[in-house]
Amino acid sequence: MAKLRIVLAQLNLKVGDIEGNLQKHIKAAVTARDALSADIIVFPELSITGYPPEDLLLRKAFIQQAETALQTFIAEIRGIYCLVSHPQSTARGLYNACTLIYNGEILGTYAKRHLPNYGVFDEYRYFTPGDTPCVVPIKGIPTGLVICEDIWFPEPVQLAAAKGARLILSPNASPFEVNKHEQRMAVLSGRAKENRIPIIYVNNTGGQDELIFDGGSMTIDQEGKLCQFAGFFNETLLPVDIDFTSDQSRMASAAITLSEQNEKIYQALVLGLRDYIEKNYFPGVLVGVSGGIDSALTLAIAVDALGKDRVRAIFMPSRFSADISREDAENVAQHLGVKLETISIEPVYKSFLTSLAPAFTGRNPDVTEENIQARCRAIILMALSNKYGHMVLTTGNRSEIAVGYCTLYGDMAGGFAVLKDIPKTRVYDLAKYRNTLHPVIPERTIVRAPTAELAPNQKDEDSLPPYPLLDKILECYLNQGQSIDEIIGQGFNPGTVKKVVNLIHKNEYKRRQAAIGPRINHKSFGKDWRYPITSGFKG
């Protein structure tokens, strides 16, 4: 009987920080060898460069630095097999590759066959697809290598198995989205059962601009059963033991508890915000707190991500701000241990109205005056940002951004939109989830009718369909790609559907100027969404 101890290196790597990533590789390999007695350590996809490097891959100096780092790692590490992923420059083009090394030697290199070119992925812009399976012996066990997207297609694992592979190692860089773990599980289980072969799936973790990598590294035995799980949104080195006989393999199992959906989404937002702020070296964040649920949830996420000392909460009342808004803003800040600073917009708002009065002669007040208030608040927040270096977090949610219920250069002003991909109905779910950990968001904030407080007695539903209805239509049109007629065919009011879809397209120019935010949905407003601003399409 042969036995392998494999360490799954679920690491938080930074794109472009080749030296920092190299040091993480070295530290992890030494720990796996000396502290965990591992035979092999497996790193995530493009672990040397971080994922996705995007157009850094078009720079020769970047590719050269990655090659130098790989050679340094090969020369440095002895006594453990290491599967490292990196770009590989060849006469045929640039490969998305992984290389198995041992004691200073390259034992085999595999080039990714299936290059994703949809959604957030753009790999055909940079890479040439490989066409050759790679099976390498590790302590006598023939081991097949496949990379990320390859596992979603039958032939890469089939080809490795046909060449005698008894084990599959799969480095990945698979971003988080709702229900993605369940999809991965189904695919991995199917591949393992089809080929009667265990699979080691290693994913990275951490935030990279709008993408969040959730980890979720795991082992699947030859029966398709989940045996070991590294958890979500954490860095870890997970050791796994596999026993091989002449025709069977047996993988050690452990009790596994998976997070429920709202918990995963909340953790994703926390990690995405933390890494965006820390990897870009901002000292902290600013949040404009209104007393509403969106800003309350944003503040809670910010404190959970960065700690209360790196978060500043600013309440900016106007003549339309209700007393309960101030009270709820004070309560959520107090519960989170954050000092609430109050800066009224009334003086600057009056000044704008006075300055613009001659130009507005003969025109009745309308949304213009409402938007001026939002822009007054943006000026205050951005002034504080400039003075102290803190990043402004916008607080708008996906539902508002979809239909343009937000003010360009007003409440859209900021550097990171924490709730950009969170529908309003999900905002309520996440607020309730956060309160199960420790009550911080007042119940009144959760049950109160949403209002922008830019006009007397204003409610969001004065301008929009009720959020539960709006979010159902947005789910059909945005996430599922259904047409107007298909949505109406499900029983929705035709006028409401046409109004919502018209607002989506009408406000494309706003979204193109919006801050980035963490991606949660299959179809987010970012790299997933590439619609023209100038368009006559209405379907």
- The CATH number of the domain holding residue 368 is 3.40.50.620
**377 and 356 in a common domain:** yes
- Whether residue 346 lies inside any domain: the answer is yes
| Whether residue 323 has pLDDT greater than 90 | no
Across residues 409-416, what is the average pLDDT? 95
From the list 24, 45, 227, 527, the catalytic residue is: 45
Tokens of 192: 């393992």
- Percent of the chain scoring above 90 in pLDDT: 86
**455 and 375 in a common domain:** yes
Q: Which of 258, 285, 313 is the last residue of a domain?
A: 258
Active-site annotation holds for 461: no
**143 and 160 in a common domain:** yes
- Whether residue 498 lies inside any domain: the answer is no
pLDDT, position 213: 97
- Whether residue 330 lies inside any domain: the answer is yes
**Residues in the annotated binding site:** 118, 174, 180, 288-295, 371, 395, 400, 510
> Three-class SS string for 137-151?
EECCEEEEECCHHHH
Q: Which of 258, 288, 311 is the last residue of a domain?
A: 258
Summarised one tens digit per residue, pLDDT across range 516-531 is 999 998 889 888 888 8
Q: What is the pTM of this model?
A: 0.94
**332 and 228 in a common domain:** no
- Rounded to the nearest 10 degrees, how much is the dihedral formed by the CA atoms of 160, 162, 166, 169? 10
From the list 82, 148, 376, 476, the catalytic residue is: 148
**Residues in the annotated binding site for ATP:** 288-295, 395
Active-site annotation holds for 45: yes
Summarised one tens digit per residue, pLDDT across range 113-128 is 999 998 899 999 999 9
Q: Which amino acid is at 4?
A: L
Summarised one tens digit per residue, pLDDT across range 201-225 is 999 999 999 999 999 999 999 999 9
- If 0-12 CB within 10 Å is exposed, 13-18 middle and 19+ buried, where does residue 437 land? exposed
Per the structure, the complete domain to which residue 305 belongs is given by 263-462
Tokens of 317: 């009342």
**268 and 245 in a common domain:** no
pLDDT, position 255: 82
Summarised one tens digit per residue, pLDDT across range 489-507 is 999 999 999 999 999 999 9
pLDDT, position 119: 87
- Whether residue 380 lies inside any domain: the answer is yes
- If 0-12 CB within 10 Å is exposed, 13-18 middle and 19+ buried, where does residue 458 land? middle
**158 and 16 in a common domain:** yes
Q: Which of 462, 481, 516 is the last residue of a domain?
A: 462
- Whether residue 43 lies inside any domain: the answer is yes
Summarised one tens digit per residue, pLDDT across range 439-471 is 999 999 998 887 776 777 777 777 889 999 999
**234 and 320 in a common domain:** no
**151 and 29 in a common domain:** yes
Summarised one tens digit per residue, pLDDT across range 39-92 is 999 999 999 999 999 999 999 999 999 999 999 999 999 999 999 999 999 999
**241 and 315 in a common domain:** no
Kind of pairing, strands 2-10 and 135-138? unpaired
**211 and 359 in a common domain:** no
**22 and 110 in a common domain:** yes
**Residues in the annotated binding site for deamido-NAD(+):** 371, 400, 510
From the list 24, 112, 420, 523, the catalytic residue is: 112
**275 and 230 in a common domain:** no
Active-site annotation holds for 279: no
d(CA 25, CA 185) in angstroms, rounded, equals 27
Work out the pLDDT band at 258, boundaries 50, 70, 90.
Answer: confident
- Whether residue 529 lies inside any domain: the answer is no
Split into its structural domains, the chain has a count of 2
- The CATH number of the domain holding residue 72 is 3.60.110.10
- Whether residue 26 lies inside any domain: the answer is yes
Answer yes or no: are the C-beta atoms of 200 and 8 closer than 8 Å: yes
- Whether residue 501 lies inside any domain: the answer is no
